[in-house]
Amino acid sequence: MAKMGRPIVRGGSLKSIEQLGIENICATFEADGFRAERNYLNSHFGNGNLVRVSGLLGLPTADKLYPYQCLLVTEHPEITHGFLDKLILLDDNGDSIGYIKDDSGAKLIGFKDRRGKELSEQVIQLTAQSQQWIEEILEITEPLRESLRLAGNPVYKELFITCGYGFSTPSSVTQPAWNRSKFNSMPKSLEVLVNQFAPYQHMLQCDLRQFLERVTLTSIRSSCGVMVYLRTKSVTEMAKALGMV
């Protein structure tokens, strides 16, 4: 769409997205990259439009990368919350150290601190499916990564990066808290999730809210371990799947 538009220079503060033109918004983002300065954002994308614009541009706003983390755990139950937390992708020279591709395929390399110093490094051999997810994450986060790199912010080295609820300064991703306390204090957050999960409610044996309150990377991992045990009837196989042996 950027090829069909022209970069917005100024004067967009009081205009709607429709008046600005989606193709022109895309052309602006293509030309200028990710920027978080409020004056720039208002004059180029319009006051009050930032949440919608971030959605149109497919930016990794709050919690948007969480589904990828859940998928990675289902594909590789040995992955823990600690492994994904601030997973380092690049070294100080910009070389890839956390995601390696070679003749044998692709792998994620991170650390699982609770295993002790000598056993802390963990290598996850990716499948074709999980490699595709990693490539998609890299594409989604690239505008933020480049912005951080130019600013000298070391967060650019991490795999999971977010820009808050719109165009906040990029930062490390944190795990969303889907629990009773948050849903009580932020009913809008629960409403959004309920609408997204509603098509699958018939598959649940409990209330949808109860289900959402139980969803964590740890609980997903535990469920995957139980599935391995039910399939193999082997505690050893379950432990292997969870990376415990």
Distance, first Cα to last Cα, the chain: 50
Q: Is the pTM of this model over 0.85?
A: yes
Residue ranges per domain, the chain? 2-56, 66-175
**What distance in Å separates the CA atoms of residue 55 and residue 142, rounded to the nearest whole number?**
16
Q: For 60-68, what is the mean pLDDT?
A: 94
**Confidence band (pLDDT; 50, 70, 90) for 231?**
very high
Of the candidates 19, 36, 57, 56, the one whose C-alpha atom is nearest the C-alpha of residue 141 is 57
**What distance in Å separates the CA atoms of residue 155 and residue 95, rounded to the nearest whole number?**
14
| β-strand partners of 99 | 108
Q: What confidence tens digit (pLDDT) does each residue in 96-155 have?
A: 999 999 888 999 999 876 555 555 789 999 999 999 999 999 999 999 999 999 999 999
Q: For 219-233, what is the mean pLDDT?
A: 95
**What distance in Å separates the CA atoms of residue 151 and residue 169, rounded to the nearest whole number?**
11
DSSP-assigned letter for residue 206: S
Which residues, 6 or more positions from 237, have their beta carbon under 8 angstroms from its beta carbon?
228, 229
Q: For 185-189, what is the mean pLDDT?
A: 91
Of the candidates 245, 241, 220, the one whose C-alpha atom is nearest the C-alpha of residue 232 is 241
pLDDT for the residue 116? 53
Q: Which two tokens stand for residue 65?
A: 């990368």
| β-strand partners of 109 | 123
**Confidence band (pLDDT; 50, 70, 90) for 244?**
confident
pLDDT for the residue 114? 55
